Chains A and B, each alone.
Chain A
Amino acid sequence: MNDGCISGDLYSYGVSVYQMICGRTPFTAPSQWLTFERIRSGKLSFPIGFPEDAEDLVRQLLVATENSRLGADDIELTAVKEHPFFLGIDWDSISSSTPPTLRAPDSPFIFEIEHTDDLSDAALERVTQDEERRRVIAKQARTPWGQFLIPKSEMIVKQGLLIKRAGIWNNGRKRMFLVTDLPRIIYVDPEKTVLKGEIPWYVRPNE
């Protein structure tokens, strides 16, 4: 149990180091689900300008197998402290030493355009970049369907008018169907702009 706690801390420490150095989290993705997918895939990418020693440290911390993370076998974290990233740090007197002056990086970090084909949905690639995504979400917010989306985070990936039939004896009702990247499928009465329902993606265990 204690081992688990230490290695969990080592992982989140790796995430913190990454973010403190370049200002982004290591698994940034357009939605919460995609973020989870990235974490699960374990694929790391580092911007140009990210220091090599720091990259090596982060790579050794963000390892899926918890016992393989740097320092996981030793409560004193000797392997972490001796990593080249911390060269010159006097760990014995660190609590009484003066912290270094904060300064901006010499040049801005350059992030690669993020490829999401490894997330098995090539269509997403076009909207992965934050700017484009924000623009699309802002545009969708101004449509009649915007009110049914989670503000500033949920994006429609397909929409269209469908006839939803409720048995073979009637003609069905016209509904605006929205598939979003939450992901979820909701449908709206297009004339009254009233949310009529959601198609559940799964059965909750308690139901």
Chain B
Amino acid sequence: MIDSRDASLAVEIKDASSFNIVTPNRTYVLVDPSNTAHEWKAVIEARHRLMFGENSVLT
């Protein structure tokens, strides 16, 4: 089984076009030229919750 403590993930929004995906080992710094950072956040977090449970996404 995967321990949810090893599965923490956060999507940090800086503005409409900038966000970071923060995983336990690394932070991915991303820029979305079409300004849909919030959509990325919603989709990634929803998938992550489906896989690891409600408390796996750090807010």
Contacts and interface: CB of A to CB of B under 8 A. Distances in A.
Interface of A: 33-34, 37, 119-121, 123, 157-158, 160-166, 172, 177, 179, 181, 183, 185, 199-205
Interface in B14-40: 21, 23-25, 28-34, 36, 39-40
Interface of B: 2-3, 6-7, 9, 21, 23-25, 28-34, 36, 39-40, 43-44, 46-52, 54
Contacts, number: 82
Contact of A183 (B24, B28, B32, B48): B48
Given A183-B51, A200-B23, A165 B31 contact: yes
A119 B50 contact: yes
A33 B44 contact: no
Nearest to B37: A162
A149 to B, nearest CB: 15
